[in-house]
Amino acid sequence: MFNDYNYNKSWESPGSKNNDDVMTVGEWITVLIVFAIPIINIVMYFIWGFGGNANKNLQNFCKATLIMAAVGIVFGLLFAGCSRI
């Protein structure tokens, strides 16, 4: 009557990919190559950071990079404005 099925498993559709997996070295190299391409890199930061289908590690990396870039731009503008005499 009872089977060995684990009822505590989280449900996943058969074709879904787990976005929490560790990224391989090859995947990171691909990411770094994409980020080396001007203009495309900015677009990809937003797509991978907020798109929802990317790996969680990559999403967090892209979000953190965008936040640091925004902070750098704000400080750059503040210091550039303060340097005028």
pLDDT, one tens digit per residue, over 25-43 is 999 999 999 999 999 999 9
Residue 1, pLDDT above cutoff 90: no
- pTM, full prediction: 0.72
Whether residue 8 is contained in a domain is answered as: no
Q: Is residue 19 part of a domain?
A: no
In a domain, 73, yes or no: yes
Token code pair at residue 17: 């990919």
Domain count for the chain: 1
Q: Is residue 39 a part of any domain in this protein? A: yes
Question: With the CA atoms of 51, 57, 63 and 69 taken in that order, what torsion angle do they form, in degrees rounded to the nearest 10?
Answer: -130
10-30: pLDDT as tens digits:
554 555 567 788 999 999 999
Domain range for residue 46? 25-83
Residue 28 CB neighbour total at 10 angstroms: 13
